[in-house]
A and B are shown apart, each in its own frame.
Chain A
Amino acid sequence: MKWTLLYFDDQLDNIEAMTELLSDKFHVIATQDVNSHSKLMEEHRPHAFLLDVHMPNMDGYTLYTKIQEHPHYNGCPIIFISGDQSLESRLKSHDMGAIDYISRELRVEELVVRLINKIKLHQLTALKLEVGNLSVDLETFKVVVDHQIVDLTLLEMRILGVLFRNYPESVTRSELIRKIWGDVVVKQGTVDTHITTLRPKLKNWDHTIKVREDNILIQLRKPQ
Chain B
Amino acid sequence: MDSRIAYIDDSLANLEVLEIILEKHFKVDIFQNPLLFLEKFPSASYDAIILDIHMPGIDGFTVYEKVMESSAYNGCPILFLSSDDTDSTRIRSFELGAVDFMSRDLTPEEIVSRIKSKIKFFESNKHIVEFGSLKINFTELKAYFMGHELPLTFIELKLLSLLIRTFPNVVPKEEIVEQVWKGSHVLDATIYTHVSNLKAKLKEWEYEIQNVKMKGMQLVKKLSL
Interface residues of A (CB under 8 A from B): 75, 87, 90-91, 94-95, 97-100, 107, 109-110, 113-114, 117, 120-121, 124-127, 138-141, 149, 153-154, 157-158, 161, 165, 179, 182
Contact = CB atoms under 8 A, between A and B. Distances in A.
Nearest to A124: B139
Contacts of A110: 87, 90-91, 94
Contacts of B107: 87
B180 to A, nearest CB: 9
Interface residues of B, number: 37
Contact of A161 (B98, B114, B139, B154): B139
B141 A95 contact: no
Contacts of B4: none
Contacts, number: 82
B154 A139 contact: no
B193 interface: no
A87 B97 contact: no
Contact of B94 (A98, A113, A126, A158): A113
Contacts of A141: 154, 157-158, 161
A161 B179 CA distance: 20
B40 interface: no
A150 B98 CA distance: 35
Contact of A138 (B113, B114, B141, B149): B141
A121 to B, nearest CB: 7
Given A91-B110, A121-B99, A153 B154 contact: yes
B115 to A, nearest CB: 9
B97 A120 contact: yes
A102 to B, nearest CB: 11
A127 B125 contact: yes
B220 to A, nearest CB: 22
A113 B95 contact: yes
B120 A97 contact: yes
B117 A94 contact: yes
A121 B97 contact: yes
Interface string B63-94: 00000000000010000000000010011001
Contact of A94 (B110, B138, B153, B182): B110
B141 A154 contact: yes
B113 A139 contact: no
22 contacts: A87-B109, A91-B109, A94-B113, A94-B116, A97-B117, A110-B87, A110-B91, A110-B94, A113-B94, A114-B94, A117-B94, A120-B97, A121-B99, A125-B127, A125-B139, A127-B125, A127-B138, A127-B139, A138-B138, A139-B161, A141-B157, A161-B140
B194 interface: no
Contacts of B157: 141, 154
B25 interface: no
B125 A126 contact: yes
A107 B139 contact: no
A202 to B, nearest CB: 17
A161 B142 CA distance: 12
Nearest to A109: B91
A179 B165 CA distance: 25
B135 to A, nearest CB: 14
Given A91-B109, A121-B99, A127-B127, A140 B179 contact: yes
Interface in B125-166: 125, 127, 138-142, 149, 153-154, 157-158, 161, 165
Contacts of B124: 97
Contacts of A114: 94
B141 A157 contact: yes
A141 to B, nearest CB: 6
A157 B153 CA distance: 13
A127 B127 CA distance: 6
Contact of B153 (A90, A125, A154, A165): A154
B121 interface: yes
B158 to A, nearest CB: 6
A127 B95 CA distance: 22
Contacts of B120: 97
B97 A117 contact: yes
